[in-house]
Chains A and B, each alone.
Chain A
Amino acid sequence: MESEEISKLQYYFALLARLIANLYNIAIHDNVPEEDKIQRVLQALSDILLSEYTFVGKYEEEKRNIVIEHVFPLDCPFQKSFTYTEGSIWDAVIEDQEFYAVGLDNMDIDAKDLGIQTVIAAPFALDDGAKRIIACCNKKVKEPYTYETYGSDEGKILEVVASLLANQLNRDRAVTYEFEKAARIQRQLLPKKAPVIENVDLAHIYIPANTVGGDYYDFIPLTGEKVGILIGDVCGKGLSAALIMVIVRSFVHFVTEEMNIGCKLSEIMFQLNNLIHRCVETGMYVTLVYALLDTREMLIRYCCAGHLPPLVYRAPRSRFEEIEEKSSGLALGIEADTMYATHDVKLGQGDIVVLCTDGITEAKGGRGEQIEEFGMQRLQTAIVEVARKGAIDIINEVQTKLSDFQSEAGPHDDASMIVFRVK
């Protein structure tokens, strides 16, 4: 074999080795934010193609401008945007939708102005209508200042990696769009306004996480100065939990009709559990508190299925009552023909009842090993501080305390809360 052939083989071997070493970084990873996916690929490209800088830029064709959206490394000295001229590499990539490279002996003026010695760039197409470019700059073969022109083999790697990344990002965006749409529809199923109830001040809040969730709450007016107040949570997250939440809501409205013709709350829960048990997969379940607020007697009668029972704040003693763990039965959907006990709580002036999902009490805060949950204690303390104020003030106080507590990542689970206070 001639020495030229040997050196060519050595070159390909080294390129292949760098490509293999970076396969993991250019592979598709779900559950990684878009920004990180792009950074990971830019970093991998920088390694494979021995590039000092890599970037993704967005074309503003009318202005003949490229805005740099992502760059690796982050301390790259490029300006945020630059203009390009006709016939330049940037123009050729967008016009021909092909990769091009320019280097030491044929550098174009645009790239030179940026301080680039050698560059290879390929089109990068996302489904948002904008044209983009992905570029690797300054192929640095030897320290400190020996640059080389990129070759077509490297262009092919760049082209494939760009297309893999674009496909993944487009798919992610399509899924996110669908989830956001589903989340909007789901939110429409939750009550928009608090019902006006005589002698009771009621407020509610739903804090969505980033996507669809399994929280459910509702207010259902009943005959005889009663209102059904429900809060529940479907186990799990995402689309499946959201779908079950929609089913549960329909079942609740369906069985609640029977309450108006004299059916007891425990019987309603019995039916609800059997309906849910029949339609959900094994392992899926729904926690729920169904409370009937009777404003004539000023009491709540509730059944609890695996959910946190109502928290009752007594105005005369300025404190919450102890939670009776045994007041809760099995979550709905676990076992057919489960009986649910009914509990009555008589309410006096200034008393407060709080119903919430675990998105409130289990919200995460802190950093690293110091991560902890918001917890019952913080929730009750927040409420006690403003217990003499209106229901909406209580909600606002809890929301403020919760958002101060939560880490920068924001809520990882949706959270709901209903507060009512006897006037």
Chain B
Amino acid sequence: MKKRVLFIEDEAFTVKAFVKYLNEFEDYNVELLEDLTEAVRLLSIHKYDLIILDIMLPHNGIIDEKVSPKKSGIAFARALRQGRVAGHNVAENADIPLLVLTAVVDPRSTREIKMLKPAGILRKPVAWTEFFDAVQTTTSSHTTE
């Protein structure tokens, strides 16, 4: 069965080729979203094998409006780990393996990201081999079965 991956990245054009390859030639079903609104809805109705998450994302107020878009991904993942995001029950995905794909490289934000216990942090721009290895390793070591 194909691994189900939710990929949230607002600069979708930079990763479209990766997603296309994973969907067409590898055993993955990747849904690529550009903001968090649809992500929250999908996480409340489906169980995923992996989330690949950008940190700086438009959240359209779906998480606390005080949260800066520069750290929206962190606030989102923190809420996800607790099983509830913007009133949606996402408990089924609370322990989901998380790959962070980010351009955030300051020490303080990196410490906050690490507290989310991600399976990996990929710094942008990411090379295909590095990206694919991380996806493969994470999905093969965490199974939802």
Contacts and interface: CB of A to CB of B under 8 A. Distances in A.
A156 B108 CA distance: 19
Contacts of B105: 99-101, 120, 150-152, 155
Contact of B107 (A5, A8, A92, A155): A92
A89 B107 contact: yes
B78 interface: no
Contacts of A8: 11
Nearest to B13: A5
Contacts of B61: none
Interface in B113-129: 123-125
A6 to B, nearest CB: 11
B145 to A, nearest CB: 34
Nearest to B70: A105
Contacts of B137: none
Given A5-B13, A8-B11, A152 B107 contact: no
B110 interface: yes
Contacts of B106: 89, 100-103, 106
Contacts of B110: 92, 96, 100
A375 interface: no
A88 B107 CA distance: 7
A88 B109 CA distance: 12
A152 B123 contact: yes
Given A5-B13, A8-B11, A153 B108 contact: no
A87 B13 CA distance: 35
B11 A153 contact: no
B98 to A, nearest CB: 18
B93 interface: no
Nearest to A99: B105
Contacts of B124: 152-153
Contacts of A151: 103, 105
Given A5-B13, A8-B11, A156-B125, A100 B107 contact: yes
Nearest to B114: A96
Nearest to A95: B107
A167 B102 CA distance: 28
B22 to A, nearest CB: 22
Nearest to A105: B70
Nearest to B102: A152
Nearest to A92: B107
B132 to A, nearest CB: 17
Contacts of B104: 152
Interface string B63-105: 0000000000000000000000000000000000000001111
Interface string A80-100: 000000011101100010011
A88 B123 CA distance: 20
Interface in A92-129: 92, 96, 99-103, 106, 108, 120
A108 B106 CA distance: 10
Contacts of A91: 107
A152 B124 CA distance: 6
B108 A106 contact: yes
A102 B123 CA distance: 15
Contact of B103 (A88, A102, A120, A152): A152
A153 B125 contact: yes
Q: Which residue among A87, A88, A99, A152 has the maximum number of chain B CB atoms within 10 Å of its CB?
A: A152
A96 B11 CA distance: 27
B11 A155 contact: no
A8 B124 CA distance: 13
B30 to A, nearest CB: 21
Contacts of B13: 5
A267 B136 CA distance: 77
Contacts of A102: 106-107
Contacts of B109: 106
Contacts of B123: 152, 155-156
Contacts of B103: 151-153
A41 B1 CA distance: 50
Given A106-B106, A106-B108, 11 more contacts: A5-B13, A8-B11, A87-B108, A88-B107, A96-B110, A100-B105, A100-B107, A102-B106, A103-B106, A152-B123, A156-B125
Interface of B: 11, 13, 102-110, 123-125
Q: Which 5 A-B pairs rank lowest in CB-CB distance, beginning with the nearest? A: A92-B107, A152-B123, A152-B103, A152-B105, A101-B105
16 contacts: A5-B13, A87-B107, A89-B106, A92-B107, A96-B110, A100-B105, A100-B107, A102-B106, A103-B106, A106-B108, A150-B105, A152-B102, A152-B104, A152-B105, A152-B123, A155-B105
